[in-house]
Chains A and B, each alone.
Chain A
């Protein structure tokens, strides 16, 4: 049985998403970076990117594209896991060359997902810049990858616990910690 414990409630995550949106608007729209797109990484980066796009529009009237990215084909652990998840549809409805992109994921842990996402995004073109926004930063990446926007930080959570973000139908979300599944091996 996985012992599930609440880490951040929906008020805390809403405030965190608002902070990310404020910072993104500050950098891109009031700053000089101008038009940009969110690229959400499946699973939870996708609803998070959609929610961020709405929040950005509330602040400055500009609704950025919320693209969807599946990174299954770019993972470096094919054959190391017991099974493969279903590949979801990647939807990037804009020209990647010279685009400004904010990658969005729910939790920044080892950084390996982001490494794969960088490969995936750059196969679609040569973006002008790529930033990274995450809801929760565990503060213990294994690669030289760091978030440009982190809504929440959780360095105190033990590596033996997984951080899981759960989105509700209305777009609100809660963050829990759970035990890793039996098959998980650390590094």
Chain B
């Protein structure tokens, strides 16, 4: 009860102590209830200005953040790379310094370069929330995944989580790995050796190149989207071959325990990493992840804004 949040930025789950992650999840539980009420809005961030700066395009994460900000009564500015002066040759730091000079309180940023948010957070007095950087970190996605697991399974500690797909290029996977390990889950990464290199074992996870083996004892199966451009780059021979060896379908779903949950951060390639009937089936929690994402982002905004000293 005496624990208080004191970070002005949320950059990566790697930085957080386990009790801070738990505190965020507990806070999100109360914010989830706000969205279930008739009046779905609270004045927590009234008078605060939040800039959504998406240098790398995003639809679902941006919409989720924007709605979370509105439900907290914040004032919002949306910027994308194409409407910013980055296209005129301004540096990233100059752009965000100019944003900060307008007395904004928080910057929610997505960037294709790893560490971009860590870099600007050092130079800004306002708070910075990472909405995804390169293949590095996407803390709110991992928090909503972990929130959903905790809600369904009642705990994180001792659970076995399999993450299947393109781990190599995935910030969702990295953030999940850090968060889950800190809270005491064990993690198995599943996919072809080109996308799931053995080196990941060094952080304390199991690496498995066989789907049946990887899913056998999993309580949770988190599937990542297979991007078509990875095939052109030679990471696997064809989409069909990937689907046959690593996709979840009516046949391979039998490798899973009957009570294992199926998760996916979206957007789904139906028929590639996940068959439509499984995505829409009883084991899937995919739409609940979207609902929980809103609650988790409200909690993150509330806690981070609460620590930006003016």
Contact = CB atoms under 8 A, between A and B. Distances in A.
Contacts of A76: 43, 46
A187 interface: no
A74 B30 CA distance: 13
Contact of B44 (A74, A81, A89, A125): A74
Interface in A68-127: 70, 72-76, 78-90, 119-120, 123-125
A91 B41 CA distance: 17
Interface residues of B, number: 33
B302 A119 contact: no
Contacts of A74: 42-44
A120 B37 CA distance: 12
A80 to B, nearest CB: 8
Contact of A123 (B5, B42, B72): B42
Interface string A46-80: 00000000000000000000000010111110111
Contacts of A89: 29-30, 33
A83 B37 contact: no
Contacts of B30: 70, 73, 87-90
Interface string A148-186: 000000000000000000000000000000000000000
A76 B307 CA distance: 14
Contact of A90 (B26, B33, B72): B33
Contacts of B26: 86-87
A178 to B, nearest CB: 16
Given A79-B305, A86-B3, A119 B43 contact: yes
Given A73-B42, A88-B30, A123-B42, A83 B6 contact: yes
A84 B309 contact: no
B39 A84 contact: no
B45 interface: yes
Contacts of A85: 1, 4
Given A90-B30, A125-B38, A83 B44 contact: no
B105 A73 contact: no
A78 B306 contact: yes
B310 interface: yes
Interface of B: 1, 3-6, 23, 26-27, 29-31, 33-34, 37-39, 41-46, 48, 72, 105, 302-303, 305-310
Given A73-B30, A79-B105, A83-B6, 8 more contacts: A73-B31, A73-B44, A76-B46, A79-B309, A83-B4, A86-B26, A89-B30, A123-B41
Nearest 4 CB-CB pairings of A with B = A83-B4, A73-B42, A84-B306, A87-B30
